[in-house]
A and B are shown apart, each in its own frame.
Chain A
């Protein structure tokens, strides 16, 4: 069984049809990329998967369980985490605190325990700081732990967001344009990090415009155009699909050189 299944997902915003009956599956342990021109419905699809919007029609299943209609925090508890195209941090909190908030689901202390700072709560707090630091190390930001998250560069903020998402210990990680605004070196590092994450057993679903990154790391590609799926398959197959070339990439050279 696939980890994530979307069945006939349809989303209308007033008269605009953003997604028109899209179905796909994300298999466990894979990196799947969603590509398509602006307005193809990629981000809308993400918002539906993580529960920020309810689709007009259709069903999304995580691990066989229907998640459409659940609240975002319930979906998060089922192991879905995401990052945003525009990086969505808690800017007035430190880098470490951002990741600690990401560990929320794994905290056991109750509200009363927190209010009274019981000894169990203090021990847990210490353990959580250690765990959060490990996630920061994983993305290479350990030395920025005490910096204010709002004051970092875009590339670093993306990494904080990634560490926070990893902190939730997701089974499925949604990445919305993780490479946008990154320079070549940062993108190379990102590719390495994403592969490492996948090899740890986390399934990745990402929207990305950087074709070389997509072709480099994706195991599977889904192509959307005006809310409709026009192709799906491994990079080599998608790259040579005439429909993709015609509708999305325009010229064959772009795909080859991209």
Chain B
């Protein structure tokens, strides 16, 4: 029983960007190539292209996030769209308005695209399935499910440094269980043909059947990062200690914290990534975070180009061809 992919329109083009799941390699490559064409825009004197002029993009953030929201806003503005920032957590939902009512009200204001972040897994799917047909939805993080633009900017960063994905060995370290970023990264890496994707964590921070995600599982950091080309560190939330998942930050750093010494097990030219914000001294040493192998700040700046690419592709299904090429 194959259902039509809700993310694609009837011509197989990207309509919503909700998850990497179900997207083909060519589609991901197109996103990366389009992003590549946008990287120049930020360096121009006039940092704008008129691709989405006259369109209204609504940033709908039910969870606080300064950085992700800002990069989406910058991306939208560089595409000449009008941006509406709504911090919904503080307004309507606390008054008892349902999510569906919020959607309907914003639709009535003629919004063309929603960028949504919500603490419920599946929130972006929900929006996409109930929104009017002309509206595009981009998932900026839903619960523990997906954060596909973050994953794509990570892929962009890897491709910039390593070229092809085939032949690469990538390790993701930390709280896989609760991480929407990790889920999307794993899907993207596998779709793009990465040779081996590894996850490294204690069992309390892994899902029940991690191999079903298409990864090799390691519990020992040094063993897990041996000969890898890319090390992706995940953020550790403080509440993991209270949920009896870990004894302490101290023991976590002892076992899974990335140090210069441990990084020696990886390939000599391995890069270190982190979706941010970093807990220095918990996930990694400052020496590593600020060191020559770290590409963490590049990730942030590539984030704008990748989000521009996804926005123009999902919305400008018609406009995109003319302007982006």
Partners in one complex: no
Residues of A within 8 A of B (CB): none
